[in-house]
Amino acid sequence: MAIVLLATHNPGKVREIQALVDELPPSIAGLIELVLPQRLDIQVEVQENGQTYQENAALKALAFCRASRLVTLADDSGLEVDALDSAPGLHSARYSLLLAASDADRRTLLLNNLQGFPRPWLARFRCVVVLAAPWSEPPKLEFYEGICPGEIIPGERGENGFGYDPIFLLAELGKTMAELSTAEKNQLSHRARAIKAALPGLVRMVGR
């Protein structure tokens, strides 16, 4: 069994990634065990001070790979809204001046900032996934990207997502990201697309 460390504490991400790994042929999926840092008692603080998604994901992948000496998967993602010059972008998870701001707080701020701009409020989710291999120093890194286009709507819909999912509409489906089933999200989301692109590299690394 090959252990792959996920450089995250976000349970929503873990569920999405596990579901995608489970889509691999059983002979391969059964050889990969995804684990979180807390299970291995790994405590690493990473300052996400990069200027791009790639830099932030690489910072996390390198730190956790070095701490664990395991193949490590990290990601960084954000919501880019055209009317706001691609904001909140890199700051999507910290898009509020409130201490301990919730996802709902960030959604409210985004919608407030969009008032006065004509609709549709075109947007996209972007995700960069980084795989880090522990057998060299510095660890070898591989980068993959996924993009999901859509638009922001003024009212929340759906219960299945997190973050900005309830106000992110996929126009071709007429559903928000939070209204999608797990199976639908694993075909369409930015993270799903990035992870799917990364899976051949992950299989190659754990089979080394």
Task: List b or e across 92-130, with b for residues whose CB sees 16 or more CB atoms inside 10 angstroms.
Answer: bbebbeeeeeeeeebbebbbeebeeeeeebebbbbbbbb
Active-site choice (22, 75, 76, 105):
76
- CA–CA dist 11, 16 (Å, integer): 9
What are the DSSP E strand ranges found in 27-139?
A: 32-35, 71-81, 87-88, 121-133
The question of whether 41 is a catalytic residue gets the answer no
Task: List b or e across 180-191, with b for residues whose CB sees 16 or more CB atoms inside 10 angstroms.
Answer: beeebbbebbbb
Catalytically annotated residues: 76
